[in-house]
Amino acid sequence: MKPKVYITRKLPDQVITQIRERFEVKMWEEEETPVTYEVLENEIQEVDGLLCLLTETVDESLIKKAKNLKIIANMAVGFNNIDLESATKHGIMVTNTPGVLTETTADLTFALLMATARRLIEASYYLENGDWKTWSPMQLTGQDIHGATLGIIGLGRIGEALVKRAKGFDMKVIYYNRSRKAEQEKKLGITYKSFENVLKESDFICLMVPYTPDTINLIGENELSLMKKNAILINTARGGIVDEDALYHALENKEIWGAGLDVFEKEPVPLDHPLLALPNVVSLPHIGSASIATRLKMADLAITNLIAGLQGDTPPNLLNKL
């Protein structure tokens, strides 16, 4: 009998053909709507493998219902949607899909930085709403990107890729990371600073840290108060890293100049969220890795992990040792 696999979102045929040949596959057939927790509770009971997204909460209660589950393949870099400790306790492998989305997410991060600095979305609405009546010297003026100081909090692969884009704009790049990276400093021409000094000295601050207990509300009222009045905060990492109430008040009171957000604490973000009403916020629906090629690579890597785990091999991106 073939092992059973459940996929929590409809994926293109071209990426699931390889597992249909090996396993008995059942898939949630909606592309835009996530599987409900109740459906997942039922489906997880008999399957050997689960391929899921960040939209699925795989908690201890769900894991306890799994009788045969051997691997949870998360189609994302982050894995805070999965109770890793519980999975490990129950002998279930957990994998993610790092690496393949590095360049695409760096592209989006820099695009969001530029859109926020130059008020592109606001300007587009200004034109479409018929507000463009004449040219005036200070109309829709934004912040220069070239020659500015970019501060990166968390110098991982995406952070390093972002440095390369910033260098094309002659930006000075400073960074803070939990462990200093002397080799990258020399290679990329960047400078290490303390967390507080990165906040104080940067014109643009890009958050590149994972979501962990240590990074919840990493940027709060105190951190925002250290930033320049003209500072722009960019978050393409994870919601919850920024205290959204504190950010709203800092933006509303012009304590910082603007923010570009691809992620929110609650997703999808409620349409009545105060941050969405501010003109100095550019908000996106978590599209950091959303290029066609990258999403297909992510799906393919998740499936590679799944196949390895179900065939008794060590998956290439195993997160927990059993």
What is the domain-level CATH number for residue 277? 3.40.50.720
DSSP, res 68: S
238 is catalytic: yes
> Of 29, 85, 196, 267, which residue is the catalytic one?
267
For 97-130, what is each residue's pLDDT tens digit?
999 999 999 999 999 999 999 999 999 999 999 9
Residue 60 has pLDDT above 90, yes or no: yes
Q: Could you tell me if 119 and 89 lie in one domain?
A: no
Q: What is the pLDDT, as a whole number, of residue 32?
A: 85
Active-site choice (9, 119, 165, 286): 286
For 156-192, letters b (16+ CB in 10 Å) and e give bbbbbbbbebbeeeebbbbbbbeeebeebeeebebeb
Instruction: State whether 66 and 194 are in the same domain.
Output: no
Query: How much is the CA Rg of the chain, to the nearest whole Å?
Result: 22
300 and 277 within one domain: no
Whether residue 127 sits in one domain with residue 214: yes
199 and 82 share one domain: no
The secondary structure of residue 134, as a DSSP letter, is S
Q: What's the token pair of residue 69?
A: 């589950």
Same domain? 131 vs 227:
yes
273 noted as active-site residue: no
Confirm whether 235 is domain-assigned: yes
User: What pLDDT score does 30 carry?
Assistant: 87
The identity of residue 123, as a single letter, is A
CA 55/CA 34 separation, integer angstroms: 7
| Residue 252 near residue 121 (C-beta atoms within 8 A) | no
Going by C-alpha positions, the residue among 242, 271, 275, 224 that lies closest to residue 116 is 275
Residue 267 lies in a domain: yes
Tokens at 215, concatenated: 């990074």
pLDDT recorded at residue 31: 84
Q: Are residues 107 and 160 in the same domain?
A: yes
Q: Tell me which of 238, 255, 273, 295 is the catalytic residue.
A: 238
Can you give the pLDDT at residue 238?
95
136 lies in some domain: yes
Residue 286: active-site member: yes
d(CA 159, CA 257): 22
From the number of C-beta atoms within 10 Å of its C-beta (0-12, 13-18, 19+), residue 6 rates as buried
Q: What would the pLDDT profile of 146-170 be if each residue is shown by its tens digit? A: 999 999 999 999 999 999 999 999 9
> Tell me: the pLDDT tens digits for 262-310?
999 999 999 999 999 999 999 999 999 999 999 999 999 999 999 999 9
18 pLDDT tier (thresholds 50, 70, 90): confident
Per the structure, the count of domains in the chain is 2
Evaluate whether residue 166 is within a structural domain.
Answer: yes
Is the domain of 84 the same as that of 110? no
Indicate if 249 and 112 belong to the same structural domain: yes
In the predicted model, what is the mean pLDDT of the chain? 96
More confident residue, 251 or 16: 251
With cut-offs at 50, 70 and 90, classify the pLDDT of residue 242.
Answer: very high
- Residue 29 is part of which domain span? 4-100+292-310
> Does residue 117 fall inside a structural domain?
yes
- H helices of 202-256, where? 221-226, 244-252
Residue 322 lies in a domain: no
Q: What is the pTM of this model?
A: 0.93
Identity at 155, one-letter amino acid code? L
- The answer to whether residue 194 sits within a structural domain is yes
Residues 71 and 178 in one domain: no
Residue 316 resides in a domain = no
| pLDDT at 143 > cutoff 90 | yes
Indicate if 182 and 268 belong to the same structural domain: yes
Cα-based torsion angle of the residue sequence 64, 267, 6, 46 in order, rounded to the nearest 10 degrees: 20
119 and 81: one domain?
A: no
Q: Does position 215 have pLDDT exceeding 90, yes or no? A: yes
